[in-house]
Amino acid sequence: MIEAKQLSKSYGDHKALKNLDIHIQAGEIFALLGQNGAGKTTTINCFLGFVKPSAGEVLINGIPVNPDPKESKKFLAYIPETVMLYGNLSGIENLAFFSSLAGQSYSTQELRAFLSKSGLQESAHDKRVGGYSKGMRQKVGIAIALAKKAKALFLDEPTSGLDPKASNEFSEILKELAAQGTAILMATHDIFRAKEVANRIGIMKEGQMVSLMSASDISANELEQLYLKTI
């Protein structure tokens, strides 16, 4: 579960987040839309423990992130716009390394199973990540989240720069992760992807959630109109 209660963050006089409330259940995908500077990344960074809130509280799996994010970090995984991996290592070596950082130890067979489940073709498992496409790197990011058995997954613009097929595959994997009980918060500029993958959609403006809806209650075109009207 992912929760923000009256979350606020100020940088000097600038209020980046203003009394934000977010509640994402296990198994739910929440898409966060909003213009550049609306506060999406700041919100995610508060959950990751990278940014300290000025007021309010953030919790992951019921555990407060602050003052010490170490405990809550055990339950989360993060996929940024470009997943940072070691280019000289193979997909499987990267996965072994990052899952060991999370305290997990898996056999080669188990690591391969995570990569395959994430949609990475078997022929790529032992190839250097330096030669991977962006979509392939994102899939290793998903495999790391799977191996970590993350209860909460945060994604910041994960499909930006992916071709429609890779983006669609990525969305399908997110849905599978959610079906297994992961709570997912995804910041995106892709209105149509948000409608397609999310259960709920929130639109942020100037640090506040100005619209909140079930994805099933709105068409992609209506969402686009609402977005344009809102921002």
Pairing assessment for the beta strands 29-34 and 200-205 based on DSSP bridges: parallel
Judged by CB under 6 A, the residue of 40, 137, 151, 200 near ligand ATP is 40
* Count of CB atoms situated within 10 Å of the CB of 166: 18
CB of 11 to ligand ATP, least distance (A): 3
Judged by CB under 6 A, the residue of 30, 34, 166, 200 near ligand ATP is 34
The Cα–Cα gap between 115 and 85 comes to: 14
* Per CB under 6 A, 69 contacts ligand ATP: no
The Cα–Cα gap between 153 and 176 comes to: 13
Interactions with ligand ATP, residue window 13-32 (CB under 6 A): 14, 16
Task: Give whichever of 42 and 99 is closer to ligand ATP, judged by the CB atom.
Answer: 42
Judged by CB under 6 A, the residue of 29, 31, 38, 153 near ligand ATP is 38
The Cα–Cα gap between 62 and 186 comes to: 19
Judged by CB under 6 A, the residue of 7, 31, 33, 39 near ligand ATP is 39
* Per CB under 6 A, 56 contacts ligand ATP: no
CB of 88 to ligand ATP, least distance (A): 30
- Number of shown-chain residues binding ligand ATP (CB under 6 A): 11
Report the candidate in 10, 39, 44 with the shortest Cα–Cα distance to residue 24.
44
| 180, two tokens | 């297994």
Question: Quick one: which H or E segment has residue 219?
Answer: none
| 91, two tokens | 């997909």
Q: Which residues make up the interface to ligand ATP (CB under 6 A)?
A: 11, 14, 16, 34, 36-42
